[in-house]
Amino acid sequence: MVLLSFINPLSEEGQEIVKEKGDLESVFSSNDELIYIVTHDKRQNIDDDSLIPESYGDLAIKRIQWYIERKNNKDFNNDDYSYLFNEEITEADVISFHLISQAIATKLNPNSREARFFVESQGKIIEERLVKLPEQERKEIVNRILNQLIFQENINWKFLKELVASKKISLTDLVLDEGNIILDKEDFINRFGDKFKDRAPDRMYEIIIGDSIKELILTKMIMQNTENYLQKIREMSSKIEVHPAISELSEKIAQSISELTSKYSGFYGVGGSEGSMKIGKLIKEAFPPCIATTVEGVSSGGRNDAIVLLLTSFVSYARLYPAIFRNEGVDVKVSDIDPNLTITLNEILPLIYEAADNCSPPLFDDQPQEKINITSKLGFGMYENPELDHEGETTWYTPMSCEKIKMHLPQLCRPDKLCAKIGNPLSYYSRAKWLMEKEGKSANSINSNNNSNGDSKNNNNQ
Amino acid sequence: MILGISSKNSYTYLWHIYGDIIFKTATLEERRRYYREEWSEKDLPKFITDELRMREFGFDHLGHGPNDRYKVFKGKDSLRRFLRYKTPFAAYISVAFYNNPRRRGDWLKSEYVFDVDAKDLPIRSCDCDGVCEICLSEALEIVNNMIDTLEGDLGIKKIHLIYSGRGYHIRILDDEIMDSDSELRSEILKYVAGAEVPKLKYGNISEGSGSSYNFEHFSIPIAYPKVFTKRIKYNIQHLKGNEEIDDINKNLLKDIIKNRDLLDDDQWGIFRSKIGPRRYKNMVTGMARVNLATIDAKVSIDLKRILRLPTSLHSKVSMKCVEVKDREWFDPFKSAVPKFVEERK
């Protein structure tokens, strides 16, 4: 029987393993037992030494590597990481899971891409491990873990509201009745048996719910619990000194992720704040539909929010600091990038004012006070024009998410294909720009823009 | 249907009586009469008077919007005195509860609200400029469907329905939702409104773990697909043909209307084949948008909004904002017309 902690490293059993065998002194020591398991796995590719994790620390890095490679490498060979799906590795895997958690929580930001990759990789590992189990065993372990996670027969969806709010699970994918998530076959047939006219209810149960919804809930709950665990370690870490091995591991994880992402996608940038601090002229062809529409002018009803909240923040960040969401937690001001406000006054504000003028009726005609609000959203307090002396009196607002735009300004949301992949207009812009550069479509215009961009380059170096 | 033909007839009758005198802006004198002679603190719903002092009040004295905000009342008496003395054009109360409502400080929790305004319905059978008995009754049918989903599917309790004067507010005081953030609220909204096209693919979630099946929303008579099917059936049956809906062009709209009788017997399969699978996909996408636009979604995700105070006067249309006790048979022309309007006759 598979150990529960093979699927859920946060289970009590997993914690026992860490207590017994987790030793911070030996994070990077060669571990014969681990090497033996890896090299004796039937499917494991062992003709390259670099494929074999020799220590718990190595294994921790490989876990995330597997996820990024699998997602991006066209020639990916799962047999290079076959050991990750071998039950015998459970103990070492649980220890490496807790090591990554500590390394990320104590040294990196909880919203960092390292944390995100770790949580996502955990979800994928669970899915693949479940797929590889024999059917009966898979059913059994899913039920056992769910019983531990949920404790009760009928789960109310509100028990999972954290998962719903963070969009790990969509309410629309669940079968809900009187607030309960219906998972049990008998319960399903009792409640809905008479609703199916042309199809057998038990067959429909297998298709609509079956094991897939249970596995979805289980996977997402463990991902959420991993996030919560990171948060908990972070809160505790302020009181204790971080072990050097953990610091070393966190550096290695960050480095490995940085290398892999830059290898596979120019979109992620070189990594690190310097790499993504590049600024360039605004490329209107890369604007998402909502912004393009706003620039052309909005009719009364959504005018104020579209110009003051959406466009102002979008244009300023797109022009000055498009990488804001990749470097969350970084405290950045307009003047860090545009020290004399040359770009803000000559490029950003004119574009916003022009869009305001395109509105019907023109925004400032009846609401001149909105100029003050625009200044305020750039972080320069409540004044008609931005001045360095007032910087910091208010916050430089980041653009609202697509989700918020849909709710606040539904008339602007006319998604195109690229929109499906992103959650914020700013990410759309970065991605579209990157795609255009890749396809060479506007390579010339980008280059010429950069060439004529002496001011901002100088500013950036100051 | 919430309103049978007979009740619609009675509406029409009342409409003829009131049509030219109701929906006119109330004069200062009429507001005075309302607050001094008709308004009573006993009519304030209990969910409003409980913890009254933790809510923010806002007032519009001149009809220019609620610019007198951050007001706090210790109890019903002080509120009564204020209303009698000031006879405001409009009165509002926050959905939020604060430890320090005067500064909107120390937020504790917020009601969860659905705002359906009859005049903003993207699909409605009438041609009126503002609101009339037809769109008001359609707004009621829509909120009733939503409440059925909130209670039946999501098991949400403590739901109050308020007639706001020109539409309806569903106000929810369910403890577990009140302390939740905008993200959760927008997820619930999508389910209840039918704002997302249901998934097509069912079966195993992971690659390589068995087969999956495609099912259109109408093939699954339970859960979210059922909600979605019901919402778009309602939309299709209320189309007039002059609507402008993204993803649904004029020809498609025409064909939808031409074939909609098939939906009376839920013959969705035939309906879909008449429309054609690609155009059907466009229709479904367009209808999901209509569903979202039926509700003023920014009200639902706003944790600090102020809403019209039940019992107060909607002076612009001379109607009372009242709690709806019997949501199946509520008739605003019987329950929400202030006495002074009757006397305008």
Is A359 among the annotated ligand-binding positions? no
B39 and B164 in a single domain? The answer is yes
- Give residue-wise pLDDT tens across range A227-285: 999 999 988 887 888 899 999 999 999 899 888 877 775 444 333 333 333 456 788 89
- Map out the domains of chain A with their CATH numbers: 4-151+211-264 (1.20.930), 272-461 (no CATH)
B230 and B108 in a single domain? The answer is no
CATH number of the domain to which B126 belongs: 3.90.920.10
Residue A119: alpha-carbon gap to chain centroid: 9
B161 and B262 in a single domain? The answer is no
Q: Is residue B333 part of a domain?
A: yes
Whether residue B204 and residue A158 make contact (CB cut-off 8 A), yes or no, is no
B224 contacts in chain A (CB < 8 Å): 171-174, 176
B342 and B248 in a single domain? The answer is no
Strand ranges (E), B207-272: 212-214
Strand ranges (E), B85-199: 90-100, 105-110, 112-117, 159-163, 167-172
Is A290 among the annotated ligand-binding positions? yes
Strands B212-214 and B68-71: unpaired
B202 and B111 in a single domain? The answer is no
Its ipTM equals 0.89
- Report the distance separating Cα A281 and Cα A4, nearest Å: 53
- Residue A86 phi, psi dihedral angles, 5° rounding: -100, 120
Nearest CB among B209, B224, B293 relative to A131 is that of B209
What is the structure's pLDDT at A270? 37
Whether residue B289 and residue A410 make contact (CB cut-off 8 A), yes or no, is yes
Cβ-based interface (< 8 Å): residues of A facing B: 127-128, 130-131, 156-158, 161, 164-167, 170-180, 192, 195-197, 204, 207-208, 210-212, 215-216, 403-404, 406-408, 410, 414
B293 contacts in chain A (CB < 8 Å): 410
Whether residue B190 and residue A157 make contact (CB cut-off 8 A), yes or no, is no
A212 contacts in chain B (CB < 8 Å): 203-205
Residue of chain A minimizing CA distance to B148: A178
Q: Is residue B191 part of a domain?
A: no
Nearest CB among B152, B184, B204 relative to A164 is that of B184
Burial class of residue B5, CB neighbours in 10 A (0-12, 13-18, 19+): exposed
A76 contacts in chain B (CB < 8 Å): none
DSSP secondary structure letters along A66-115: HHHHHHH-TT--GGGGGGGG-GGGHHHHHHHHHHHHHHHHHHS-TTSHHH
Nearest CB among B154, B181, B301 relative to A407 is that of B301
- Min Cα–Cα distance to chain B from A48, Å: 28
B7 and B115 in a single domain? The answer is yes
Cβ B320 vs Cβ B314: under 8 Å: yes
What is the structure's pLDDT at B21? 60
- Report the distance separating Cα B149 and Cα B138, nearest Å: 17
B250 and B335 in a single domain? The answer is no
Residue of chain A minimizing CA distance to B213: A207
Copy the structure tokens of residue A211. 């094991």
Query: Nearest 5 degrees, angle CA A406-CA A410-CA A414?
Result: 85
Copy the structure tokens of residue B14. 């009342």
What is the structure's pLDDT at B135? 94
- Min Cα–Cα distance to chain A from B77, Å: 37
Crossing angle of the two packed helices A32-39 and A90-107, in degrees rounded to 10: 120
Is A413 among the annotated ligand-binding positions? yes
B127 and B145 in a single domain? The answer is yes
Residue of chain A minimizing CA distance to B151: A178
What is the structure's pLDDT at B165? 94
B223 contacts in chain A (CB < 8 Å): 174-176, 208
- Give residue-wise pLDDT tens across range A288-340: 999 999 998 888 778 899 999 999 999 999 998 888 877 655 667 888 888 88
- Min Cα–Cα distance to chain B from A407, Å: 5
Whether residue B187 and residue A164 make contact (CB cut-off 8 A), yes or no, is yes
Residues of chain B with pLDDT under 50: 1-13, 16, 205-207
Whether residue A172 and residue B152 make contact (CB cut-off 8 A), yes or no, is no
A49 pLDDT higher than 60: yes
Residue of chain A minimizing CA distance to B301: A407
Whether residue A403 and residue B186 make contact (CB cut-off 8 A), yes or no, is yes
Q: Is residue B319 part of a domain?
A: yes
Q: Which of A407, A408, A416 to mutate to test the interface with B (most CBs of B within 10 A)?
A: A407
- Give residue-wise pLDDT tens across range B265-277: 999 999 999 999 9
Q: What is the mean pLDDT of chain A?
A: 85
Q: Does B155 touch chain A (CB under 8 A)?
A: yes
Of chain A, the percentage scoring pLDDT greater than 90 comes to 48
B28 and B78 in a single domain? The answer is yes
Nearest CB among B204, B215, B222 relative to A175 is that of B222
- Domain hosting B95: range is 1-181+303-345
Longest Cα–Cα distance of chain B, Å, equals 74
Cβ B90 vs Cβ B61: under 8 Å: no
Residue of chain A minimizing CA distance to B290: A410
Q: Does B175 touch chain A (CB under 8 A)?
A: no
What is the structure's pLDDT at A391? 85
Nearest CB among A165, A204, A414 relative to B180 is that of A165
Q: Is residue B120 part of a domain?
A: yes
- Report the distance separating Cα A327 and Cα B162, nearest Å: 45
- Looking at the 3D structure of chain B, how many domains does it have? 2
Read off the pLDDT of each residue in A211-215 and give the average, rounded to a whole number: 87
Read off the pLDDT of each residue in A107-115 and give the average, rounded to a whole number: 78
What is the structure's pLDDT at A84? 96
Q: Which residues of B are catalytic?
A: 115, 117, 296
B137 and B222 in a single domain? The answer is no
Is A402 among the annotated ligand-binding positions? yes
Q: Which of B187, B219, B300, B305 to mutate to test the interface with A (most CBs of A within 10 A)?
A: B187
Sequence-separated (6 or more) residues with CB below 8 Å from residue B259: B271, B274, B275
Nearest CB among A171, A215, A403 relative to B205 is that of A215
B226 and B114 in a single domain? The answer is no
What is the structure's pLDDT at B7? 43
What is the structure's pLDDT at B161? 98
What is the structure's pLDDT at A274? 34
Q: Looking at B295, B315, B337, which one is the last position of a domain?
A: B295
B215 contacts in chain A (CB < 8 Å): 207
Whether residue A410 and residue B183 make contact (CB cut-off 8 A), yes or no, is no
What is the structure's pLDDT at B312? 98
Cβ A149 vs Cβ A14: under 8 Å: no
Copy the structure tokens of residue A348. 């950003």
What is the structure's pLDDT at A71? 85
- Give residue-wise pLDDT tens across range A127-158: 999 999 998 999 999 999 988 888 666 789 99
DSSP-based three-state secondary structure for B86: helix
> Where do the H-state alpha helices sit in B44-167?
46-49, 76-86, 133-152
Q: Which of A386, A41, A207, A121 is nearest to B219 (CA)?
A: A207
B176 and B229 in a single domain? The answer is no
